[in-house]
């Protein structure tokens, strides 16, 4: 029986392609597995295999023709077989005349561009409005550039301290090259996202949006203002550093995290105000590169949102690298002294002053919603953040909000998941954002990662729990990588044995934590992890050992 051959979807983002070359002609016999033709889609391409045996009765789309995925390109069947009725008539292509849902995404960060792509995949007519640069803070001034600098710092630090494993060297830092590498990484990823947007048919407007009403925005661009209407809006405007009322905070030596990623030269000394995630990551970078770092944190310990045992190890690691840690300490003032700044701090009623070439201010971030004119659209705001539910809906049915601008935990992967959730709900699906599977990662040395309940939070919530613990000093791969520093801790319900949380500090912790997130999502228990074979030698074996520990039958612990 004659069969229509359609253009396959060769990648998740492919929507259409151009036939480049046919390897057979009408009348040729083909077999299953034969390469019929080559196709190009955006910057990528591929070859289409035949999935049936027969004779090519008709080539509908010849070389050079653009075809949508799922549309017919040929008919294959038996010689002499009637096939004309199979070929779609132009009037049958009704979808061409169906009005698509128009979606405008305000903000092109990791939440916004993901939302735009997902909505386009589901058939929406999508426009992305970006004020500055695609990729947002994460890609341009946050996650990616920080990790690029950390990679350089870690290699340098490892090279300096590898005599015990037989590597003797005297490495030097070319800070210009370090920054250049960071810039190249960012550029490559930004270019990649632009290609993804283009290949998915997302239109991009560079400008600043503000609402006129719930379906209309004014976009201020370099060429003037324009009005833009859409059926649905997704707000993904991100966040900005919090303003801190410290005397002298505007001194020329003071920089924020963005400034710390683009310094002209490596400073000899740096004060880091704030011992949260950004602060300790930046402290790790510059301490490893040779800068004398002093971290000042008001709270009793660093990274207060992480497990205390992990934070203690991270603090010891920073001290070992030469950093000075001042916890339970408040910054009183910053004084400009020419090429240096004098930082005055207070602890237990006593003041102290030290000098630093640069003062990095890392005291949190706040939602960026100024200028959106949300009042005109009627969108509810609470405590400086847009209010949205787990479907990412605001109180206005045509407007959704995702990422940092809705407050809560501000992480790129949260924004991306929320972006997918918003797009899917706009396009008629029932999608929910589930906070409990969200991992928190801190790229110190060793890395820290946590998902779900910690011991402290489980205790505070009154949950009956059991703990499985495995020290990486007993893990072969961890001993090879970093001397076995760190641990894996699993929090499980004491009766059901369901996984409630997982904390890891050690080599590749930020990659390994996904097993904990998946276990929580799937409702897995300690036996599920214990009965899963983990390859050897890997750090991941420690996760199984922690589960065995919680069950009272650890092998290596």
Reduced to 3 states (helix: H, G, I; strand: E, B; else coil), residue 108 is: coil
Residues sharing a CB contact under 8 Å with residue 339, sequence separation 6 or more, in sequence order: 357
Domains: count for the chain: 4
**Which CATH number does the domain housing residue 226 bear?**
3.50.50.60
Catalytic, out of 133, 151, 536, 556: 536
Domain check: are 377 and 454 in the same one?
no
- Same domain? For 109 and 229 the reply is yes
List of E strands, 348-482: 350-356, 358-361, 365-367, 381-382, 385-386, 399-401, 439-442, 447-452, 465-471
> What CATH number is given to the structural domain containing 492?
3.30.390.30
The residue out of 325, 341, 361 marking a domain boundary is: 361
126 shares its domain with 237: yes
Residue 72 exposed, middle or buried by CB count within 10 Å (0-12, 13-18, 19+): middle
Final residue in a domain of this structure, among 436, 467, 483? 436
Sorted by sequence, the CB contacts under 8 Å of residue 89 that are 6+ apart come out as none
Do 157 and 140 have their domain in common?
yes
State the burial class of residue 229 (Cβ atoms within 10 Å of its Cβ: 0-12, 13-18, 19+). exposed
Residue 52: which domain range? Answer: 3-94
Query: Whats the size of the chain, residue-wise?
Result: 557
SS3 labels along 491-503 = EEECCCCEEEEEE
Instruction: Kindly give the confidence (pLDDT) of every residue in the chain, 557 residues in length, as a single tens digit, with 9 standing for 90 and above.
Output: 778 888 887 776 677 888 888 899 999 999 888 889 888 876 667 888 888 899 998 999 888 888 888 888 889 988 888 877 777 665 444 444 455 689 999 999 999 999 999 999 998 999 999 998 888 778 777 788 889 999 999 989 888 888 888 888 788 889 999 999 988 998 898 889 888 998 889 999 999 999 999 999 999 988 888 889 999 999 999 998 888 889 988 888 999 888 888 898 999 999 999 999 999 999 999 999 999 999 999 999 999 989 999 999 999 999 999 999 999 999 999 999 988 999 999 999 999 999 999 999 988 889 999 999 999 999 999 999 999 999 999 999 999 999 999 998 888 999 999 999 999 999 988 889 988 899 999 999 899 999 999 999 999 999 999 999 999 999 999 999 988 999 999 999 999 999 999 999 999 999 999 999 999 999 999 999 999 999 999 999 999 999 999 999 988 87
Please list the residues that pair with 75 across neighbouring strands: 4, 58
pLDDT at position 537: 95
In a domain, 303, yes or no: yes
SS3 28: coil
Determine the Cα–Cα distance for residues 245 and 267; give it in Å rounded to an integer.
25
Residue-level pLDDT at 63? 84
Q: For position 3, what pLDDT does the model report?
A: 85
Residues 108 and 218 in one domain: yes
Q: Among the three residues 60, 94, 128, which one is the final residue of a domain in this structure?
A: 94
| CATH code of the domain covering residue 9 | 2.40.50.100
Reduced to 3 states (helix: H, G, I; strand: E, B; else coil), residue 550 is helix
On whether both 462 and 540 belong to a single domain, the answer is yes
**Strand segments (E) across 375-426:** 381-382, 385-386, 399-401
Q: Is residue 138 part of a domain?
A: yes
| Ordered strands of the 44-49 beta sheet | 44-49, 35-41, 16-22, 66-68
Domain co-membership, 106 together with 221: yes
Q: Is 555 contained in some domain?
A: no
Per-residue confidence (pLDDT) for residue 92, from 0 to 100: 45
Structural domain contains residue 556? no
For residue 225, give the 3-state DSSP assignment.
strand
Is residue 221, in this structure, part of any structural domain at all? yes
Q: Let me know if residue 354 belongs to a domain.
A: yes
Same domain, 371 and 236: yes
Q: Are residues 110 and 230 in the same domain?
A: yes
Do 144 and 228 lie in one domain? The reply is: yes
- Gyration radius from the chain CA atoms: 28
**Active site annotation includes 534:** no
The whole-angstrom separation of Cα 482 and Cα 473 is: 10
Same domain, 224 and 139: yes
Assigned domain for 246 exists: no
Co-location of 408 and 491 in the same domain: no
């Amino acid at each position: 029986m004659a069969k229509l051959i359609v253009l396959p979807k060769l990648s998740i983002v492919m929507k259409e392609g151009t036939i480049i070359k046919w390897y057979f002609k009408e009348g040729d016999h083909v077999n299953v597995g034969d390469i019929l033709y080559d196709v190009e889609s955006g910057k990528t391409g591929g070859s289409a295999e035949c999935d049936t045996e027969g004779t090519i009765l008709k080539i509908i789309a010849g070389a050079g023709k653009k075809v949508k995925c799922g549309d017919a390109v040929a008919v294959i069947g038996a010689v002499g077989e009637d096939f004309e009725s199979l070929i779609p008539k132009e009037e049958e292509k009704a979808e061409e005349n169906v009005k698509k849902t128009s979606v405008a995404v305000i903000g092109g960060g990791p939440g916004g561009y993901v939302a735009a792509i997902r909505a386009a995949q589901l058939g929406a007519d999508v426009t992305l409005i970006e004020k500055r640069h695609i990729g947002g803070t994460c890609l341009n001034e946050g996650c990616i550039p920080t990790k690029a600098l950390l990679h350089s710092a870690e290699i340098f630090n490892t090279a300096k301290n590898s005599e015990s494993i037989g590597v003797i060297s005297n490495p030097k830092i070319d800070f210009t090259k370090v920054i250049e590498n960071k810039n190249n990484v960012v550029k490559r990823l930004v270019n990649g996202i632009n290609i993804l947007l283009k290949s998915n048919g997302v239109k991009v407007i560079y400008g600043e949006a503000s609402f006129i009403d719930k379906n209309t925005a004014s976009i201020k661009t370099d060429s003037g203002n324009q009005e833009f209407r859409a059926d649905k809006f997704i707000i993904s405007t991100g966040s900005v550093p919090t303003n801190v009322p410290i005397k002298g905070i505007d001194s020329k030596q003071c920089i924020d995290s963005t400034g710390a990623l683009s310094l002209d030269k490596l400073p000899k000394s740096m004060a880091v105000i704030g011992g949260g995630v950004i602060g300790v990551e930046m402290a790790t970078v510059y301490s490893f590169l040779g800068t004398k770092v002093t971290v000042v944190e008001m709270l009793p310990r660093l990274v207060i949102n992480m497990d205390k045992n992990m934070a203690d190890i991270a603090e010891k690691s920073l001290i070992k690298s030469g950093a000075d840690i001042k916890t339970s300490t408040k910054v009183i003032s910053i004084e400009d002294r020419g090429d240096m700044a004098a930082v005055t701090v207070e602890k237990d009623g006593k003041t102290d002053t030290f000098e630093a070439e640069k003062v990095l201010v890392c005291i949190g971030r706040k939602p960026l919603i100024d200028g959106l004119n949300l009042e005109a659209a009627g969108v509810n705001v609470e405590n400086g953040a847009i209010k949205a539910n787990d479907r990412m809906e605001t109180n206005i049915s045509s407007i959704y909000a995702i990422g940092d601008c809705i407050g809560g935990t501000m992480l790129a992967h949260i924004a991306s998941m929320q972006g997918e959730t918003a797009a899917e709900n706009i396009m008629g699906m029932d999608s929910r954002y589930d906070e409990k599977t969200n991992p928190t990662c801190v790229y110190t040395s060793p890395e820290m990662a946590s998902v779900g309940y910690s011991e402290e939070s489980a205790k505070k919530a009154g949950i009956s729990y059991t703990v499985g613990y495995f020290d990486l000093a007993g893990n072969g791969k961890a001993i090879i990588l970093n001397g076995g520093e760190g641990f894996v801790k699993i929090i499980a319900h004491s009766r059901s044995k369901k996984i409630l949380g997982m904390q890891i500090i050690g080599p590749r912790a930020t990659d390994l934590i996904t097993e904990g997130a998946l276990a929580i999502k799937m409702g897995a228990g300690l036996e599920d992890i214990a009965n899963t074979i983990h390859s050897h030698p890997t750090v991941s074996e420690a996760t199984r050992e922690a589960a065995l520990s919680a069950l009272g039958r650890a092998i290596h612990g």
